[in-house]
Structure 1
């Protein structure tokens, strides 16, 4: 059974004078999913989020929430809540009053006992039970984020919007909060929409990711789809890391493309669709798909190690040759380390399986 949409953007464009911040956005957000907008600064992801929230109005197109067109509807009348990057907590209020602020503003105002009960339930959900009397300045960064989350979920919104809520946290705390946030989303069953420029954050938490580029949607898909089957060089370069080898199509071999790269090197690559002979392409090859072997290995490409970067669980090798140019290879710790010399300056062979590279049209 198809999951019903909770929100939609239909041909939505947003202009600020002569500047177009978002152009022709078409997106369906599913009930109960965790969706992330991912992209660099200025790509339009925050504009899209703010149009869902009602802080910005679409110049063209329609914004729908729960089947209703909400163009022109102010934020407080939409069934959404937002967690801001700086949390926007009230320093003169304790934790309980911060969390209950939205309930306190309702008209008619709920009874005090009901507000206290809902606040207690929200704090328990974010693992802050018993912290109601604390002052905001007495809370750590991670705890303040949980207070902001509790304040957002206490009103039981249909969509929770998150504008880079973990940007101010250190790496370890950010990782811990990513796990907690995803667990909370599953527990609540609320649709979460996150804006972030951190690809690890988006890939680790999201059911689907919407990649933005220059105000437009470049690709939407599961984290696995975006990583394994990017549809453009931009997506392949932005999601994860990739080596790019300029090539030209020679022909098709079943569902594979045969290509010639620099110095006439032959490649067999995966392709999203048929490509005509003569088409200029780039071959995308993930660093973890490049294997380093002793020089002279069958089907190996002679290259020289120019840099070796130890990163704990793996080592990153930068390889270079006249024929291929520059490649990055990632070798798990201990893998093949005893088989050959992997020091800077060493001559080695770079290998990958046929069909390992992905053929993408130049863009």
Structure 2
């Protein structure tokens, strides 16, 4: 028989805390999460619309036969086999693109850094030289290419005429397969103003006390550059190299316009020409993507080419950003 507890015993027994509808700390965390998500929403929307969805769609269409008119038809790896085994222009286009990536990016970084160093050392007329070197970068790509093709015209161009004065026989430039890509590199180096400004800002940010300490230790010009300047600007060099690789992997306008003009075809509505003149020496993978996707309506093959470009760009970027490459130190 249960013995009833007294009122005092009942009051002494521990009671569980009353259940709450929501914990204040948890509500605060949820509000912070919502605020963070709100601040990130512009980037998330842009990333989803302009990167994630196009990438997923490109992978999807790479396994489809799609002519942009009829419904997509699944064909498996047929597009991939066609690009790697049956497309005759894929090899030359890939070689030209990689050649431009290596040579163009390297020379742009070297000349941009060199001009930036030169201008930071000039005592008088800094504004004039800075403006003179930056102005070519502001020229539209089509206009700059048209001007370069005119200047380097093998028969009427002023560059070959000046070379003739010195007894030098000028090359055919954009009309010669061996000189077409170097001519494009010259055009790119001419518009070096963007990298010059970036390197100038990095060079002016190097502490002067480090130069004074290196000079007291007996370091010359090369020693100060090697042990003071270079370690300070390596992140900027990395930025220039990575962005240069990405931009050059998308190289399209200048090569296409130069090929059309050098071949004698007028640039305008309705003008159709196989890209890569002369002899496919200026053909790049982005030109091949456009030709396959919008001229031949072979969307599947164009998507495969785009994914190859994306994979190469990602691989090169990861390789460059590894600390073992020497461009980044442990502190970076």
Please classify the TM superposition score into its range, dividing by the shorter chain length.
under 0.3
Q: From the two aligned structures, give the one with the greater strand fraction.
A: 1
TM-score by length of 2: 0.19
Q: From the two aligned structures, give the one with the greater helix fraction.
A: 2
Report 1 or 2 for greater relative contact order, CA contacts < 8 Å, sequence distance ≥ 6: 2
Q: Larger C-alpha radius of gyration, 1 or 2?
A: 2
TM-score by length of 1: 0.18
